[in-house]
Amino acid sequence: MGPEVARQVRAVFQQAMEREAVQFTEEIMRQLQFVLVAVFVLFTASAWAQNGAPLKLIHTIQVPGLHAGDFGHFTIDLPSHRLFATAEDNGKVEIIDTHTNKLLHTIAGLKSPHNLLFRDDLDKLFVVDGDASEIKVYNGTTYRLVEHIPMTIDADSIAYDPVTKYLYVVSGGRAAHTPYSFIEIVDTTTSKKVGKIKIDTNRIQALALEKSGPYIYCNLTGENAVGEVNHVKRSLVATWSIASKGQQAVPLAYDEADHRLFVVTRTPAKLIVLNSQSGKIITALPCVGFADDAVYDARHKRIYIAGSGAVSVFQQQDPDHYTLIANVPGSYPLPRQKDIAKTAFLVPELNRYYLAVPRHGTHEAEVQVYEVLP
């Protein structure tokens, strides 16, 4: 344990003693969790050093002019080598040239952009603006706002079906003050909403679309469960509890070939592997804390989880066995969740992994570019 981490641990416990509390306050517990995440990152650094880094930092792209706060998610336009990132708390979409690793353009004027999709055949960018309760559609050449698609409040997570061209969007729930949420269905060819699926939980996080069948998987975060949704029948058909292993599930990734779902919880910070056919929990392993993105790398048989201070990288030995091979340092574990580098994007065609790092203090926001190593 490094001296700075040890100092933080002593400070947290000293606060508890000074307050003569029988239990830690919520604030102290939050601070302690961040410290323990830092300890976890340092403890597993030896594996990173011994095995060689699976991710190598090769570029840092400065994104100036942003105040502190969350980044949302990414999408890619491969033919035009453009990467799009939502600066959620800044109300902007940042556009990066993946050849030059330079900032190309900024789209401003959004309220809280969360997720986005680019259709190169239409030359259109679809941006889910949650606080505006709509999807904003932009011309991909001029970046001019051309269409609005009304949505329920707090639209956020998405999944895209390249066959039907339907975009599935999570909305409603807590922000709408309802005990249920929706998965709304948008035809991106016509820019029209064509239906919605009602789910009886007040919080859904992350979607994973099955390409070979009719299912969408989702984290029913409000129920500490994973849901299986039949998007043809437009109904929830199965619910699988993960409460015995973890709570507050946020990221979700999917290995369709091996029928494995990768669920990442924050309380405690764990990677939970489920069989997507039966819902059976295969294994659960500690990982980096406060993660907001997880991705499965089919080529290298790995799972990357971006969170507080690092990217946890797990190697899939076979569908039932996984090993943490590295916690690749990403950014320092910070005291506010909104300052953590916890969203990232894998582009297999470029063999690149992009990590969004929010502004903190005088340090400008940036996107870190990693080469994926064998």
337 inside domain = no
31 inside domain = yes
Which pLDDT value is given to residue 331? Answer: 80
7 inside domain = yes
3-state secondary structure of 370: strand
Work out the pLDDT band at 50, boundaries 50, 70, 90. very low
Which pLDDT value is given to residue 337? Answer: 74
Q: How far apart are CA 227 and CA 225, in angstroms?
A: 7
260 inside domain = no
Which pLDDT value is given to residue 256? Answer: 98
Task: Read off the pLDDT of residues 65-118 as tens digits, 9 standing for 90 and up.
Answer: 999 999 999 999 999 999 999 999 999 999 999 999 999 999 999 999 999 999
Distance (Å) of CA 253 to CA 47, 204, 205, 263:
24, 14, 12, 7
Contact between 267 and 233 under an 8 Å Cβ cutoff? The reply is no
Which pLDDT value is given to residue 361? Answer: 87
Instruction: State yes or no: pLDDT of 53 exceeds 80.
Output: yes
9 inside domain = yes
96 inside domain = no
Task: Read off the pLDDT of residues 163-173 as tens digits, 9 standing for 90 and up.
Answer: 999 999 999 99
Task: Read off the pLDDT of residues 245-266 as tens digits, 9 standing for 90 and up.
Answer: 999 999 999 999 999 999 999 9
Kindly report the pTM of this predicted structure. Answer: 0.87
Task: Read off the pLDDT of residues 200-240 as tens digits, 9 standing for 90 and up.
Answer: 999 999 999 999 999 999 999 999 999 999 999 999 999 99
**Domain range holding 36?**
3-40
26 inside domain = yes
Which pLDDT value is given to residue 171? Answer: 97
Other beta carbons within 10 Å of 143: 15
Closest CA to 341 of 333, 349, 350: 333
Task: Read off the pLDDT of residues 118-168 as tens digits, 9 standing for 90 and up.
Answer: 999 999 999 999 999 999 999 999 999 999 999 999 999 999 999 999 999
Which pLDDT value is given to residue 52? Answer: 76
21 inside domain = yes
Q: In the structure, how many helices (H) and strands (E) does the chain have?
A: 3, 28
Q: How far apart are CA 129 and CA 112, in angstroms?
A: 5
Q: What is the mean pLDDT of the chain?
A: 89
User: How many domains would you assign to the chain?
Assistant: 1
Which pLDDT value is given to residue 150? Answer: 98
